[in-house]
Amino acid sequence: MDLDFWWLLIIPVAFAFGWIAARYDLKTLLSESSNLPRSYFRGLNFLLNEQPDQAIDAFIEVVKLDPETIELHFALGNLFRRRGETDRAIRVHQNLLGRADLPVSERDHALFELGQDFLKAGLLDRAEETFGRLESGDYALGAQRALLTIYEIEKDWSKSIETAQRLETMGAEPLDKEIAQFHCELAQEALQQKKPADAAEQLELALKANPQNVRATILAGDVKAAGGDHAGAIAEWQRVEEQNSSYLPLVAEKLMKAYAALGRAAEGADLLTSYVDRYPSNDLLDVAYQHVADLRGGDAAHTLARTQMQKSPNLAGMTRLLEAQIAAADEPRRGELELMRTLIKQRTKNLPRYTCQNCGFRARLFYWQCPGCSGWETYAPRRVEPIAASN
């Protein structure tokens, strides 16, 4: 009986404590809410009613009334930057950095956001200086990634290599593909400046970073061809088949020129014909067709085009097949075939040839770095199928 009596006393006491705690929390919440400016709630109301411009004005008023609202500063700055108002975003983040009492972590955050503002505004030198101040801390890795973007935009490939290597030491994902491409860019510049030794050195470094880098192999062939070593150039370009056969169209014409320089054009045509047979491609067919027609005549070119059309029907291959048939047709039949060829050419001439596999950017020229998303090696080196592209 005594135990039951004590339980009867404990229950109302526990209830009383709970009621007091709830009252205290409610008073605290009301006190904190009363300390918030009315502009804050007006801003929230504007956001809920999908009125972003009025919400921004309200939140700016909050920031003026209560400078301690650090998170609101960051939110406003990011919103300005997304809207393209980079000058206002810069002012918000610079005001934050001007506060003497700003904690170190928040100062780094403000520096990172300010660097993003400068980058968005195209002020690359100021963005570089800002990101360069973030050598350690939570935002160091992001700052280095932003610096890499800046150096790629500026085409400062030496700094790009250094930054990519630094990122890897900081725990970022492997950047072997990008580093190899940076070395290839330096090799390309050396070739333009007629410095083959420097180009060859950069290409060795590119292949060391990424042994499967096809561009380095192609450029190595270019270096040897420029020095008159056509046999060495052929050997380099033939290595493309081992690395990635889909890139063979990029060296097809180069191979034929090298074989012709050695007086072995027929051997080169045989090689291209074998490539077309093993790796069907419109680009390979275009190069092989013309050289086969010049060296062996229209009948041989016709056979080549017909065989490829049987394997992989497409409009580009049909154009070549019609050209071969036109060359062998009599006058009445030739007119009909020429009309068909003209119609197909009109249908396909404005279609892009290459498509970025990352962002879908389309172009008639092949790029190692996509002009749309700046990704490296995102273009498949083969034509877009015209029929599929038109659907």
Q: What is the pLDDT of residues 126-138, one digit of tens each?
A: 999 999 999 999 9
> What pTM value is reported for the model?
0.76
φ, ψ of residue 13 to 5 degrees: the values are: -65, -45
| Confidence band for 20, pLDDT divided at 50, 70 and 90 | very low
| Confidence band for 3, pLDDT divided at 50, 70 and 90 | very low
Q: Rounded to whole angstroms, what are the CA distances from 337 to 144, 319, 340?
A: 60, 10, 5
DSSP 8-state symbol, 369? B
Annotated binding-site residue? 184: no
pLDDT value at residue 50 = 54
Averaged pLDDT score across all residues of the chain: 80
DSSP string, 32-78: HHHHS-HHHHHHHHHHHTT-HHHHHHHHHHHHHH-TT-HHHHHHHHH
Of 166-175, 183-192, 276-285, which gets the smallest average pLDDT?
Answer: 276-285
Residue 69 CA neighbour count, 13 Å, CB half: 19
Are 252 and 236 in contact, with CB atoms under 8 Å apart? no
d(CA 321, CA 303): 9
d(CA 89, CA 87): 5
| Confidence band for 61, pLDDT divided at 50, 70 and 90 | low
Q: Is the pLDDT of residue 151 over 90?
A: yes
Of 103-112, 185-194, 263-272, 350-359, which gets the smallest average pLDDT?
Answer: 350-359
Look at the domain 67-172 and name its fold.
1.25.40
Are 231 and 259 in contact, with CB atoms under 8 Å apart? no
Annotated binding-site residue? 370: yes
Output b/e per residue, 283-295; b: 16+ Cβ within 10 A: bbbbbbbbbbbee
Residue 378 CA neighbour count, 13 Å, CB half: 18
| Confidence band for 149, pLDDT divided at 50, 70 and 90 | very high
pLDDT value at residue 237 = 97
Residue 6 CA neighbour count, 13 Å, CB half: 2
Report pLDDT digits (tens) over 297-321. Answer: 877 877 777 777 777 766 666 776 7
Mean pLDDT of 101-112: 88
Q: What percent of the chain has pLDDT over 90?
A: 43
d(CA 174, CA 136): 20
CATH code, 174-247 = 1.25.40.10
